[in-house]
Amino acid sequence: MYYGKIKNCDIADGPGVRVSLFVSGCTNHCESCFQPETWNFEYGSPFTTETENDILTMLSPSFISGLTVLGGEPFEPSNQSALLPFLRKVRAKFPQKTIWIYSGFTYEELCSKDAHPHCKETIEILKLCDVLVDGRFVQAKKDITLLFRGSSNQRLIDLKKTLESGFVVPWQQAQ
């Protein structure tokens, strides 16, 4: 897996101050994508053990709320095999921090065994994450007033409650 960039103090892609990993590779090719360079699976730098350790160090300060993974497309099958062991490490080392993950695929596509993004790692990745921001960016539904997403078709999904209940539960920001 490759990644395009890492932000160590991101306030746009989830609540609080976060570390954000932008993975490379995407087959969705959304119209007006904000970083089409990440469609290339070899854009940026290789995701190495050193990269993992750098991110774990960035996550250490108490003011960091958690990790956000976006792209490109984290749920491209070729990215999932690298992300799963890394997310296990993050969850083990920082159980109190949240993990958000963005996908152009919907939750239903991710869970469908016949869909392109579904592979053996998918469900465990979803279980390790707290919130999924799902759905392709749709230029015609662009809305800059939306919290943590770009178009009105995209959803903020509370993964813990969704996986427990069996139906999609929207994420609600703590008051």
pLDDT of amino acid 28: 84
Mean pLDDT within 26-37: 82
Residue carrying the six token digits 């290789």: 46
The conformational region for residue 56 under phi > 0 = left, psi -120 to 50 = alpha, else beta, is alpha
| The pairing of beta strand 17-23 with beta strand 45-46 | unpaired
Q: Does residue 8 surpass a pLDDT of 80?
A: yes
Q: Coil, helix or strand for 27?
A: coil
pLDDT of amino acid 38: 86
Q: Give how far the C-alpha of residue 91 lies from the chain's centroid of Cα atoms, to the nearest Å.
A: 14
Q: pLDDT confidence of 59, banded at 50, 70, 90?
A: very high
Q: Does residue 69 surpass a pLDDT of 70?
A: yes
Mean pLDDT within 53-63: 98
Spell out the domain ranges in the chain: 2-9+20-165
Among 32-36, 82-86, 109-113, whose mean pLDDT is lowest?
Answer: 32-36
Tell me the pTM.
0.94
Q: Could you read off the pLDDT of 98-155 as tens digits, one per residue?
A: 999 999 999 999 999 999 999 999 999 999 999 999 999 999 999 999 999 989 999 9
Mean pLDDT within 3-10: 95
Q: Does residue 175 surpass a pLDDT of 60?
A: no
Supply the mean pLDDT for the chain: 94
**DSSP-assigned beta bridge partners for residue 99:** 67
Counts for the chain of helices (H) and strands (E), in that order: 5, 7
